[in-house]
Amino acid sequence: MLSAELGHEILYLTKEDVINAGITDQEIIEQARFTLAAHGNEAYQMPPKMALYPVVDSFMHSMPGYVPETGACGIKWAECFPDNYKHNLPQLSGLVIVNCPETGMPVCIMDATWITGKRTAGVTAVSASHLARKDTHEIGLIGAGVQGLEQLLFLPLVLPNLKTIKITDKIPASAERLRDTIKEKFPHLNVVCKETNEEIVRGSQLIVSATIVLAVPNPGIKDEWIEPGTLCMPIDRNSMWEWKTFLGVDKFVIDSADEFNFFVSAGKLPKETPDIHAQLGEIVAGHRPGRENDTERILNLNIGMGIEDVVVAKEIYDRARAKELGRVLPL
């Protein structure tokens, strides 16, 4: 087993090392379920994010978290710059620092892009298993980027009756690429591209949007298209959705009320807010009901929680040591 001398060295893991640690999508779902339950049971520490906004529509978030049951302790420093495609760079980047909870010492630094992609989709999958209609057979995705891919890799794992996936993107070739990838992975599914958001929304029991978080939202999803019984999953906050949808759904579920309130107070979400039915973790832990009938419209906004990142990062660190991945660097 690779070991760095505590207090004198750290393990450094590239994105490739992180992937080679070998955590499966199914394991990510179980970790998301565990972390959400820990949140619902208040068995965690996680102060709300601190943020920098260097350019319009960008953000940099500090996301600390500690989950005592697993010893997962650390922080993600996450960046989101929507114009990065102009530099041939991804929209999202980041690093995770893993700390030893007994001494506080940093033990590992790793690339966070894989973790962000996977854990976000893992949370959506857990959400869908509690909040989507059991007979969900048609889902729609707007935004066929990194997150779009992960969402569509995870959702079929928890929707046993799924038959059709509809995809759109402002760049049609991106939607077509994603269609081909998902079709290859799940040959039993009907995977199709659509030209309009309306075609994505109408007839879907679950809708995911994963585009760009805009300082000034440009809602491309009209409230009247959303049918009774739909689960709405904005990964990109309120960029694509009319605020009246947030205010008018039967149940508004949030991952963290603290994070939600932080975004409202920072002016990143409107001041008039919907009543929170529950935090997702409270539903996962069994303290609050999830979906109760096939007609309620539910919107689940998951802003993202640092505890989700550090739980996955700790597991990657443990596996990387066992597999002797990465490089030991002096402190």
Stretch that binds ligand NAD, among 12-20, 209-217, 266-274, 275-283 (CB under 6 A): 209-217
What is the DSSP secondary structure assignment for residue 292, as one 8-state letter?
Answer: -
Residue nearest to ligand NAD (CB): 145
Report, in Å, the least distance between residue 91 CB and ligand NAD. 4
Q: Which residues contact 320 (CB under 8 A, 6 or more apart)?
A: 2, 11, 13, 17, 18, 20, 21, 108, 110, 326
What is the DSSP track for 138-160? EEEEE--SHHHHHHHHHGGGT-T
- Nearest distance from residue 126's CB to ligand NAD, in Å? 13
Exactly one of 35, 147, 204, 230 binds ligand NAD (CB under 6 A); which one? 147
Tally of CB atoms within 10 A around 6: 14
Is residue 309 a contact residue for ligand NAD (CB under 6 A)?
no
Q: In the range 219-238, which residues lie near ligand NAD by CB under 6 A?
A: 220, 235-236
162 binds ligand NAD (CB under 6 A): no
124 binds ligand NAD (CB under 6 A): no
- 289-308 positions binding ligand NAD, by CB under 6 A: 302-304
Give residue 104's identity as a one-letter amino acid code.
G
**Helix axes 306-323 and 25-40, enclosed angle (nearest 10):** 130
| Binding-site member from 32, 107, 109, 213 for ligand NAD (CB under 6 A) | 213
How far apart CA 127 and CA 319 sit, in angstroms, is 27
Is residue 211 part of the contact set for ligand NAD (CB under 6 A)?
yes
d(CA 302, CA 123): 8
Site for ligand NAD contains 120 (CB under 6 A): yes
Judged by DSSP in three states, 311 sits in helix
Phi, psi of 32 (to 5 degrees): -65, -40
- Which of 31, 116, 124, 230 is the binder for ligand NAD (CB under 6 A)? 116
User: Given the complex with ligand NAD, which of 11 and 253 has the nearer CB atom?
Assistant: 253
Nearer to ligand NAD, 201 or 235 (CB): 235
Distance from C-alpha of 316 to C-alpha of 309, rounded to nearest angstrom:
11
Among 40, 94, 143, 281, binds ligand NAD (CB under 6 A): 143
Q: In the complex, which residues of this chain contact ligand NAD (CB under 6 A)?
A: 80, 91-92, 116, 120, 142-148, 169-171, 174, 210-213, 220, 235-236, 302-304
